[in-house]
């Protein structure tokens, strides 16, 4: 089965220059997102950090990936329709009109522990932040904050699973796989939207 992907800018001109690479795949006759990854302005989709992991997990090769321009996606193809829906939801988020995402996610790339962390991330309210220690406590393992931080960094769904809402206990932003500038932008966007 061909794994389809599309690239979309979700942010306005004030945002850091980057795009999101969205990858969808038919799993048990149902299209699901398997990855949403930040790409820097100069990166190509072939340089996505998630591609090698996807190739191993789904036993696919480079030839199994089909990159599609977002303007050529068709609503009549279920996998392409999912990509279009994802792009629309990101646009709404960037415009401050959406606070959560309703998308079919395939989480099987993660271990059981990682999936628990990712589920807890989705419980963090829009516009709020918590610490890694609080996230560890939220999953019932208060001493596992390092493991939680590691699972947070392996989140395959940037923004949709809001790992950007987790910061260090001392208030520093900590890390973010998309880059600190993206994390700052996302937190500022959500804070500003909450003020309106």
Three-state DSSP class for residue 130: strand
Q: What are the pLDDT digits (tens) for 79-91?
A: 999 999 999 999 8
Say what the pTM is. 0.89
User: Contact, 106 vs 24, CB < 8 A?
Assistant: no
Mean pLDDT lowest among 15-29, 43-57, 131-145: 15-29
For 110-145, the pLDDT digits (tens) are 999 999 999 999 999 999 999 999 999 999 999 999
pLDDT score recorded for residue 1: 43
Higher pLDDT residue, 87 or 46? 87
User: What is the share, in percent, of the chain residues with pLDDT greater than 90?
Assistant: 47
Within 10 angstroms of residue 120's Cβ, the number of other Cβ atoms is 22
> Catalytic: which of 73, 163, 166, 189?
163
Of 17-21, 23-27, 58-62, which range is least confident? 17-21
- Give, to the nearest 10 degrees, the angle between helix 145-153 and helix 112-121: 80
Question: Residue 8 in 3-state DSSP?
Answer: strand
Distance between CA 44 and CA 134 in Å, rounded?
Answer: 36
- On average, the pLDDT of the chain sits at 87
Say if CB 174 and CB 149 are below 8 A apart: yes
pLDDT at 13 over 80: no
Contact, 42 vs 104, CB < 8 A?
A: no
Between CA 50 and CA 153 the distance in angstroms is 12
Residue 163 annotated to the active site = yes
Cα 34 from Cα 70, distance rounded (Å): 17
Asked if 157 contacts 193 with a C-beta cutoff of 8 angstroms, the reply is no
165-189 tens-digit pLDDT: 999 989 899 888 888 988 999 999 9
Q: How many residues does the chain have?
A: 196
Is residue 31 within 8 Å of residue 24, measured between CB atoms?
yes
> Are 174 and 166 within 8 A, CB to CB?
yes
Nearest to 10 by CA among 98, 125, 75, 82: 98
Would you say residue 29 has pLDDT above 90? Answer: no
User: Which residues on neighbouring strands pair with residue 130, listed in sequence order?
Assistant: 166
């Amino acid at each position: 089965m061909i794994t389809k992907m599309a690239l979309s800018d979700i942010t306005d001109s004030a945002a850091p220059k980057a795009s999101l690479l969205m990858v969808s795949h038919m799993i048990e006759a149902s299209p699901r997102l398997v990855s949403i990854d930040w790409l820097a302005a100069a990166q190509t989709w072939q340089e996505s950090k998630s591609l090698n992991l996807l190739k191993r997990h789904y036993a696919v090769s480079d030839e199994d990936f089909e990159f599609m321009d977002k303007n050529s996606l068709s609503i009549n193809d279920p996998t392409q329709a999912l990509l279009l829906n994802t792009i629309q939801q990101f646009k709404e988020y960037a415009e401050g009109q959406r606070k959560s995402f309703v998308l079919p996610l395939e989480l099987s790339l993660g271990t059981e522990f990682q999936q628990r962390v990712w589920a807890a991330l989705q419980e963090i309210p829009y516009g709020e932040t918590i610490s890694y220690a609080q996230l560890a406590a939220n999953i019932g393992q208060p001493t596992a904050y390092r493991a939680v931080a590691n699972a947070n960094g392996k989140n395959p769904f940037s923004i949709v699973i809001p790992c950007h809402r987790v910061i260090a206990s001392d208030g520093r932003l900590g890390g973010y796989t998309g880059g600190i500038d993206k994390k700052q932008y996302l937190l500022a966007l959500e804070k500003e939207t909450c003020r309106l």
